[in-house]
Structure 1
Amino acid sequence: MTALGFLYPGHSGEDDYPRIEQLLGSDIRVDLVHTDIGEDAHRVDALREMGSEQRLAAGVQELRHAGAEAVVWACTSGSFVHGWEGAQQQVRALAAAAGMPASSTSFAFVHALRELEVRRVAIGATYPEDVAGLFADFLRAAGVEVVGVRSSGIVTAAEVGTWGEPEVLALARAADHPEAEAILLPDTALHTAAHIPALEKELAKPVLTANQVTVWEALRLADRRVNAPELGALFTREPIVQV
């Protein structure tokens, strides 16, 4: 049994995680601990506070008791708003507090893009424009070319959590760009786990969503690969054979 630990802020799109667990197979367990969200606002100061070391450290003891082998801060905006260096420090502090390998959704996107060998992306963000721009800057710091950013201007995670498949598809279509090799939907408050096959069929390219890459990142940290086509192109990569 591989146990994966996640720190998820508040309550919005967290039911993606049991859905993903079901698709992964019976030997993988997804443990979710909810962190204190503070103020529900896609605003830089509120997002930095939401991802503070103290708030994250408060949730790790429960994951340790559950036997988690790795932990991921399941929040994109609450990591990339710290910038590249700040997000790295956030992860280092989380790993030290948890006593296990750690990452965040922002780095999950970077590692997933490297896995798929994708260099040019378009972003479909629920966030206001300034916050969406910070995510683009974070990706650029990782060497990713961002060819387009679409912002929906939504201020709260609570509102994002009410979106269904029609809204998610509309966002992805609006974000698509002819030069993009993949589309990124970066909000963990957005329900996407049930829609990834439809998204990739519609756009004819990989679609990476926040909760999807977050679980993939935890599997990467735990040195596990799982073939799960229902979770998109990212989960259909064959293990690398060492010669």
Structure 2
Amino acid sequence: MKLFIYDHCPFCVKARMIFGMKNVPIELVVMLNDDEETPKKLIGQKIAPILMREDGSCMAESLDIVKYIDNKDGEPLLTGKTNPAISDWLRHINGYVNKLLLPRIATASFAEFATPEARTYFKEKKEANAGSFDELRQHADGFIKNVNDDLRKLDKLIVKPNAVNGEPSLDDINLFPVLRSLSLISGIDYPTRVAEYRDNLAKQTQVNLLSSIAS
């Protein structure tokens, strides 16, 4: 099986996680960000992630891929209950965090930006929706303060370092990608339980953090 992804993409991280958690072999294919032809050929639109199954058929939508792989062997792993407080926390932080992340993603050394054209494509597409990256960078300190405040709230919700609610659940699939994205940002203060959870999930899912290219 092949999984077509962008390395910076949190939706792609969701799909990647289940392969690591269940030790299912997967070939990762990082698409250039301006490559519209490949995803359109596979699934009919420019979207990621895309899973190509053994028979050559393809499926998109990160949570559909997670469900498919988790149930493929008849022994699902993500059987824990979800916590509405985690959903509320994610909804809140997702309301502003891209304003902090997008300008950093645009300059980071991700494989999907291996050509100047691919990087320019990303910047122009995202600025059209989020606004000028230069202007967003001017507000970075305020966004980081908000993140630090929100991480302290999250710290109180984490039950175990290997599963936010105590048993593996979809909340883990939705939460870890946000924390992984935040590892791209310098200056964030991680409370103890958040840091332990983030680091544990990175090992468990075999998805690297972005601390080495943080800015």
Give the structure-2-normalised TM-score.
Answer: 0.34
Structure richer in strand, relative to its length = 1
Q: Max radius of gyration: which structure?
A: 2
Give the structure-1-normalised TM-score.
Answer: 0.31
